[in-house]
Amino acid sequence: MSASETIFVTGGAGFIGSAVVRRLVAETACQVVNIDKLTYAGCLDNLLPVAQHPRHHFIQADICDQPAMRRLFQEHRPRAVLHLAAESHVDRSIDGPAAFIQTNVVGTATLLETAREYWRQLPEGEQQSFRFLHVSTDEVFGSLGPEGHFTEETPYRPNSPYSASKAASDHLVRAWHHTYGLPVLITNCSNNYGPYQFPEKLIPLMIVNALAGRPLPIYGRGVNVRDWLYVEDHVTALLTVLERGQPGETYNIGGHNEKTNLEVVTLVCAILDELQPAANGRPYDRLITFVADRPGHDLRYAIDASKIARELGWRPQESFASGLRKTVQWYLDNRWWWEKLLQERYSGQRLGVLASNAGGLP
Ligand code: NAD
Ligand code: TYD
């Protein structure tokens, strides 16, 4: 990406978006326009490493706000949009689906329409090089049994309000390509982990609970399987797809790291036992507590990432053992980051148990 190019990153104050922004600033010469509403999940501290950088431009805005989006496209004239802004937590989508439909569906439609208006009036060469990369999830494919993997041909069968809203957005993106010719790319990635992940998600929640000596809640019997990918590997995949992906195509991204939740939490405990033994000398896995299952809990996700490997040459670099160790070490070294979030935004309580319908659909 050259110095004359501007890249929009939506959701760039979140977990994955901020990793994209930090990478773009560090390793390319492009201007980065970071568009984020700063919901509970958006955190300017994630951007401290690039806060003063002259090529990073942070703009607080809602992707559902079409006039604001129009102004940004006209002012900054992007070569590409990396669309990550979303409500991202399954348990919160059970408690309150409305925000998921608003941001993930309406927001994506708004951004697509604004991008199309802008793209239509570009000179031909710029029209051809424009890209809209929609960052999505493997959860749109639904749940696997003990065998098999999701491929790009797997039919969509989303089960949670979160995955249904992401599936809807994927379909909109596809339609904007098919109907209007907008040069889009879609990626469907497995569960990410790494630094700066909001402590509502499994791995950071287990780290911060363990350090506080609190129970480590495992839904059901801990047999659900996720396919874990280190966030920096995801960023590399996204930039690879942006540069070399074929418009109109979708690419599955995954880490070949299938683990049951119990395996993941046990490993987190073992790493903590080594890096930060509990004051009372007892192992952290004593805190593991089986709790009521998540409603509609998908059993297993696993990605077949052979298309992106074959066509674009991307493969994950980080093993789960090394990535998890780095992640635990990061949370130990950056207590200030998550202690502030726990104090101000989310204190670790169970979400998504159907206890209330606050924030639900009208
Ligand atoms: P996150 O919740 O950490 O960050 C989301 C960001 O989007 C936040 O900074 C938030 O402020 C911003 N945002 C929310 N609503 C907005 C709106 N209306 N306008 C502008 N900004 C808004 O999420 P994440 O884990 O970094 O996920 C980023 C993207 O990647 C999402 O689209 C998600 O569906 C997708 N994804 C995530 C994973 C994962 O494991 N976390 C896996 C695959 C795909
Ligand atoms: P999560 O990080 O919420 O990601 P997703 O639901 O998008 O896969 O959860 C990962 C897995 O961990 C999922 O199977 C639910 C489970 N889980 C627990 O067992 N306990 C918890 O406290 C949380 C947050 C998740």
**Spans of all domains in the chain:** 6-194+229-256+300-319
Beta-carbon neighbour count of residue 43 at 10 Å? 21
Q: What angle separates helix 108-120 from helix 161-180, to the nearest 10 degrees?
A: 20
Structural contact between residues 194 and 327, judged by C-beta atoms closer than 8 angstroms: yes
Residue 226: which pLDDT band, with cuts at 50, 70 and 90?
very high
Give the domain 6-194+229-256+300-319 fold.
Answer: Rossmann fold (3.40.50)
**138 included as an active-site residue:** yes
Ligand 1 atom closest to the Cα of residue 63 is 19
DSSP assignment of 260-329 equals EHHHHHHHHHHHHHHHS--TT---GGGGEEEEPPPTT---B--B--HHHHHHH-------HHHHHHHHHH
Query: What's residue 360's pLDDT?
Result: 54
pLDDT in tens, 176-205: 999 999 999 999 999 999 999 999 999 999
Distance 108 CA to ligand 1 centre (A): 12
Q: Among the options 36, 62, 87, 139, which is catalytic?
A: 139
Indicate whether 106 pLDDT > 80: yes
pTM, two decimals, is: 0.98
Indicate whether 357 pLDDT > 60: no
Q: Which residue matches tokens 């994955």? A: 16
**45 included as an active-site residue:** no
Q: Which residues have CB under 6 Å of ligand 2? A: 90, 191, 201-202, 205, 217-219, 224, 226, 261, 294
Among 219, 231, 263, 353, name the best residue to mutate to test ligand 2's pocket (greatest count of ligand atoms within 8 A of Cβ).
Answer: 219
**162 included as an active-site residue:** yes
Distance 201 CA to ligand 2 centre (A): 6
Query: What's residue 134's pLDDT?
Result: 99
Query: What's residue 355's pLDDT?
Result: 64
